[in-house]
Structure 1
Amino acid sequence: MADSRSFRTCDVVVVGGGFAGAWVACRLAQRGVTVILISADDVLPPVSRALSIGLMRRQFVEDATARRAEFFTDSSASLPPAVPPLIAEYLGREFDALTELVRYREFLQYLMPVVPERGLRVGLGDEVVAAVLAEFQRCGGIRLRGRVTDLVMEGDACRGLHYEQGGVHGQLFGADVVLASGGFCGLFADGVGSNSGHVLGTYARHGGALANLEMFARFPLGDLDRKVPVYPFELEGAPHLMRADATAHELIELLEVYDGDLVDLEVFRRYWIRNFDVPHTIASPRGRSRLGPIKGFSMGGMAISMTGETVRNVHAVGECAYDLAVDSVSGKPFATYLALGGMLADQLADRRHSSVVEPGSGVSRANASADAQLRALVEQGLSSFQDNRFSFERAERFVDWCRTERRVRQREDCTGNEDVDLLILAEAYACSVLARTESRGFFYRPDFPAPDPALAGAVTVARYDASADQVLASLVHHVNQG
């Protein structure tokens, strides 16, 4: 596969074409910062965009009192304590900036984007992203299509990234790199979309810490065959929820009793934990599909805010960052991306400096995409110890498999970094599951079915030890936050 030593420089490189990446890139470009946004989804938008409704809860932006910070806490009690007040501080300003690009109107307790056709539907979030990206380019931002394959490192400092486009390798250099590459729900059989999140593994391989990988928010209803969420408004009319061969009356009643921020978590706790092994289906004009709670957002990611060694000049925002406030997927993720993206843009604009960067000598080959068979094996292994299927032995067996498989691939040099990074991420997830000896929020372990009060505020931190080629995870409490 051919190499190319062509490269580009800028002030900031942003990775990811979803709302989080588009917003921080746009806000930087509006400040005159030179930005290149790279994503691999120009033809097919990421599932998180294509299925997004783009809603914002009215109370998030209409309540100007200090108690707004309370809206952005979550039941995991492991969000960095400084984050909810920051979301509250920045959200009003950032939402005002967004509404200069996209008009919103009232819809029940929400605000929703105004589009030519009336009514609530999936895909509105994609139209919001399109408007933001148009503003980004109007302000001089550069969009580039490509798949990130590695970081360009100089000691513990990141100087840019390697990417591949059509088999040709390229490099981007910048004073700062913002990763908004999404979560890793696609690595699971019960997760939305297909994103494997291998960039999280890349970050860990270069010394970065990952936090709370075991924490996921879940839609109460998901089409497990299509790997997409099912929204309540899609149930109007023909679709029916079935438990085994009968109508799922208890599930339907819970969906009616709980609403808003409560519905996702309460339906998971009060229904699905007791019914994981009972076959459920949804019947609609599209046919019958398997039904269940589906991972919609990973609440953990790059531990940029945690103390200890990290990768300098790398920042994270969106689902791949460890700062997502989620009990309900109706508005909280969107609000988090909006507020914290604006805050990060402020910080990077203030530290703007010359981005003249020498290309250096570290030009790696363009890596092949992750082996599809490996993805299937990882998914199968992860399924063996999730939720009610958990056992210490199965989880440890999966960890050992990840280490063995990674060493075989490194020894044979038969693949690029993506397979290795995927296995680092999968091992880090399993080690994080083993480290959290409790059930909390959407995280469930049958051997520890209740939250441990002593672990309130505790965070799993996973680090890759390159010398031993293994991941180590432990529970730590927040320090120096606030």
Structure 2
Amino acid sequence: MATRVIVVGSGVAGLTTALDLAARSRIEVTLLAKAGLGQSNTAVAQGGVAVVTAPADSAASHVADTVAAGAGLSDTAAAEVLCEAGPAAVGTLIRRGVRFDHTGGRLALGLEAAHSHERIVHAGGDATGAAISSALVARLEGSGIVVRENTTVIDVVVDGGRARGVRLLDGEVLEADVVVLATGGAGQLFPFTTNPAVATADGVAIALRAGAVLADLEFHQFHPTSLATPGNHLVSEAVRGEGAVLVDADGRRFMTEVHPDAELAPRDVVARGIAEQMARQGGVPVRLDATALGARFLAERFPTIDAVVRTQGLDWSRDPIAVAPAAHYFMGGVRTDRWGRTSVPSLFAVGEVACTGLHGANRLASNSLLEGAVFGERVAGAVLESPAPEPFASGRWATPIELAVEPGGEDFGRTDLQHVMWSAVGLSRDAAGLQEAADVLAGWAPPAATDAKAAEDANLWLVARAVVAAALARTESRGAHFRRDFPQTDPGLAVHSTLVGVQHA
């Protein structure tokens, strides 16, 4: 059994994994955070946690909604794990100090897009992620976990075909029996994102260099409603769940013409509907009309958003606010089984950096925080108990795409990369744009990892190339992946893509 475990990342997935390991064993656990503790996608998550708590709801219904949102590509077994273990995982969060909102003596429940029941538990109105992050960080004290903040991991050390530790920016090597990647997402691939600055695809790049198989990289979810102002502050889907509607430049509601569920259609549908409407009105953002909800309700239910909106001199209780899509969540990542095991022995991945197939082509709203809590517990269990492998569903995983990882010769800036990705791999793509992006990226040389930002830029470059390769290979439209040149969904392509990196002599 492992005696030393390194967990890389301090969001809900990494913190849950580390705390579970420390609580259930005498394993030496080291938690590495690239920035300060609490600087993660978890900390800025707004909407809440999707979990079955009401008698009229059921795990089977939650599974069905998850699979339906995944556009024919969700792994049903992974969805069953998530939804059936969800109530217990939320119970653990509560015991660890997360104070979810209540009404009438029961957990308050919200509704979000593509859910058939009100099942979104939340904290601080729209500060659920911050509440989870702060509670779990507080539990680190006295846990015995060694915490190192402001620590940049460059690579996983692989020896004898197994993960043996990590190499840090300053060259230090930390040895371990098991390495767990919980590094979060890749929103900084794009210039417009709801993600914090730390979301630079580090874990995906590290795993690719270590020889791990990646999966579903073409599926990056764009949230429909970010404030159309610098910073792209997220305006939670829960606002639409409470009754806010989207209107065009003339004040006309338009999503009713796009999908029967209008503003509460799956995120990919709403995001593209907004983008198309913006194109029709010369790029001018659409507006989110929450005026019917009233000033008091908006301030109490969505205090974080309300404060941001008002700081910018806007009063959304009186006037609709301008919104536009922004990169939000990476459905793809490091391919794992349902215990977080990657294709590299002793290397695990959990949370947004991982891809179990759970989310398919389009993540169901508020399943992300739950995923970190549920699969964090499972990774800890796998490290401690070594359960039998759970193979991926037969016939659902495509032959790997091979990506040559040699660099070109030209220097580049992060904004250059983000521009290429937004133009070619944004809400809609086509072969010509993707091939041009592939050629441009292949001609660039990633910077040497002389500091943390340079290391991040090198990771973004590598993952950008992988994302473009995956998007080129999927010649259909499905979920968050929309090809203008292949606008229909191909039933024959209802398989998960996989990708491996190769070095040519």
* TM-score, structure 1 normalization: 0.77
| Long gaps (5+) in structure 1 | 1-8, 353-370, 469-482
* 1:382-436 superposed Cα distances (whole Å, 9 cap, x missing partner): 12213576332332222122222138x57x9xx9655443322111000111011
Find out whether 1:174 has 2:176 as its counterpart. yes
User: 1:207: which partner in 2?
Assistant: 211
How much does 1:135 deviate? 2.5
User: 1:472: which partner in 2?
Assistant: none
* 1:321-344 superposed Cα distances (whole Å, 9 cap, x missing partner): 013437565321122222222111
Distance, in Å, in 2 between the alignment partners of 1:216 and 1:430 is 11
Find out whether 1:139 has 2:148 as its counterpart. no
Distance, in Å, in 2 between the alignment partners of 1:309 and 1:128 is 26
Aligned mate of 2:18, from 4, 20, 25 = 25
Q: Where in structure 2 are the equivalents of 1:299-310 lying within 5 Å?
A: 299-305=331-337, 310=343
How much does 1:302 deviate? 0.4
Three-state SS of the structure 1 residue aligned to 2:108 is strand
Distance, in Å, in 2 between the alignment partners of 1:132 and 1:330 is 22
Distance, in Å, in 2 between the alignment partners of 1:205 and 1:65 is 38
Aligned mate of 1:394, from 395, 408, 433 = 433
How much does 1:466 deviate? 1.2
User: 2:500: which partner in 1?
Assistant: 463
* CA distance 1:276–1:205, shift in 2 (3 Å): farther
Check conservation: 1:61, 1:91, Cα contact below 8 A.
no
User: 2:189: which partner in 1?
Assistant: 187
How much does 1:125 deviate? 1.4
Distance, in Å, in 2 between the alignment partners of 1:72 and 1:241 is 24
Find out whether 1:429 has 2:473 as its counterpart. no
* CA distance 1:441–1:61, shift in 2 (3 Å): farther
**Amino acid across the alignment from 1:462:** L
Check conservation: 2:38, 2:134, Cα contact below 8 A.
no
How much does 1:464 deviate? 1.3
**Amino acid across the alignment from 1:325:** H
**Amino acid across the alignment from 1:14:** V
State the percentage of identical aligned residues: 21
How much does 1:465 deviate? 1.1
* 1:272-331 superposed Cα distances (whole Å, 9 cap, x missing partner): 34545632155954158863222221100001339x993221111110101343756532
Find out whether 1:348 has 2:413 as its counterpart. no
Aligned mate of 2:159, from 106, 131, 154 = 154
CA RMSD of aligned residues (A): 3.7
Find out whether 1:331 has 2:366 as its counterpart. yes
Check conservation: 2:226, 2:323, Cα contact below 8 A.
yes
**Amino acid across the alignment from 1:97:** T
| Long gaps (5+) in structure 2 | 101-106, 111-117, 289-308, 315-320, 388-409
How much does 1:267 deviate? 1.9
* CA distance 1:248–1:259, shift in 2 (3 Å): closer
* CA distance 1:242–1:169, shift in 2 (3 Å): farther
Check conservation: 2:350, 2:375, Cα contact below 8 A.
yes
Distance, in Å, in 2 between the alignment partners of 1:240 and 1:65 is 29
Check conservation: 2:246, 2:287, Cα contact below 8 A.
yes
* CA distance 1:247–1:287, shift in 2 (3 Å): farther
* Worse-matched range after superposition: 437-446 or 100-109: 100-109
Distance, in Å, in 1 between the alignment partners of 2:250 and 2:63 is 43
Check conservation: 1:162, 1:171, Cα contact below 8 A.
yes
Check conservation: 1:53, 1:124, Cα contact below 8 A.
yes
More strand by share: 1
User: 1:317: which partner in 2?
Assistant: 350
**Amino acid across the alignment from 2:267:** D
Distance, in Å, in 2 between the alignment partners of 1:431 and 1:400 is 11
Distance, in Å, in 1 between the alignment partners of 2:502 and 2:61 is 42
Distance, in Å, in 2 between the alignment partners of 1:235 and 1:65 is 24
How much does 1:57 deviate? 3.8
Find out whether 1:79 has 2:68 as its counterpart. no
Distance, in Å, in 2 between the alignment partners of 1:70 and 1:376 is 40
Aligned mate of 2:476, from 438, 447, 469 = 438
Distance, in Å, in 2 between the alignment partners of 1:331 and 1:235 is 14
* CA distance 1:348–1:392, shift in 2 (3 Å): same
Aligned mate of 1:292, from 319, 324, 339 = 324
How much does 1:439 deviate? 0.7
Task: Work out the number of aligned pairs and report it.
Answer: 426
**Amino acid across the alignment from 2:500:** R
Check conservation: 1:26, 1:133, Cα contact below 8 A.
no
How much does 1:25 deviate? 1.3
How much does 1:381 deviate? 1.1
User: 1:99: which partner in 2?
Assistant: 94
Three-state SS of the structure 2 residue aligned to 1:294 is strand
**Amino acid across the alignment from 2:24:** R
User: 1:474: which partner in 2?
Assistant: none
Check conservation: 1:205, 1:466, Cα contact below 8 A.
no
User: 1:367: which partner in 2?
Assistant: none
Three-state SS of the structure 2 residue aligned to 1:82 is helix
* CA distance 1:79–1:257, shift in 2 (3 Å): closer
How much does 1:24 deviate? 1.4
Distance, in Å, in 2 between the alignment partners of 1:43 and 1:31 is 22
Check conservation: 1:13, 1:38, Cα contact below 8 A.
yes
* CA distance 1:198–1:460, shift in 2 (3 Å): same
Three-state SS of the structure 1 residue aligned to 2:176 is strand
User: 2:35: which partner in 1?
Assistant: 41
**Amino acid across the alignment from 1:331:** S
